[in-house]
Amino acid sequence: MQTVTITSQGQVTIPKDIRDYYGITASHKATVEQTKEGILFKPRKDFWSAVSILASDITASDEDLRNARKKMVTDWPRKFPWKK
């Protein structure tokens, strides 16, 4: 547990080791909640950070993408004729 000082403007500096652990930088935002134990700060993830979780190591060549598009154009209408 670490002790921090609250400034006259109500600001608190989060210790560097905690900022580093959570990847918090000057541009990050946080949510603040009142709890029975005290004040809880939670770092908010921006949209692109959240999207990066979905990233994959799977790669596709241009030819793979062209073939997939052709297959979709021909197969989709047969599988879902009501969606024309």
Domain boundaries, the chain: 16-83
> What is the per-residue DSSP string for 40-71?
EEEEPPPHHHHHHTT--S----HHHHHHHHHH
Contact 24, 40 (CB under 8 A): no
Alpha carbons 57 and 50: distance in angstroms, whole number? 17
Res. 17 pLDDT band, cuts 50 70 90: very high
Q: Is the pLDDT of residue 4 over 60?
A: yes
Question: CA 74, CA 70: separation in Å to the nearest integer?
Answer: 6
CA–CA distance, 57 with 80 (Å, rounded to integer): 30
In which residue are the tokens 């134990």 written?
Answer: 37
**Model confidence pLDDT, tens digit, residues 26-83:** 878 888 999 999 999 888 776 666 666 666 777 888 888 888 888 888 887 777 777 6
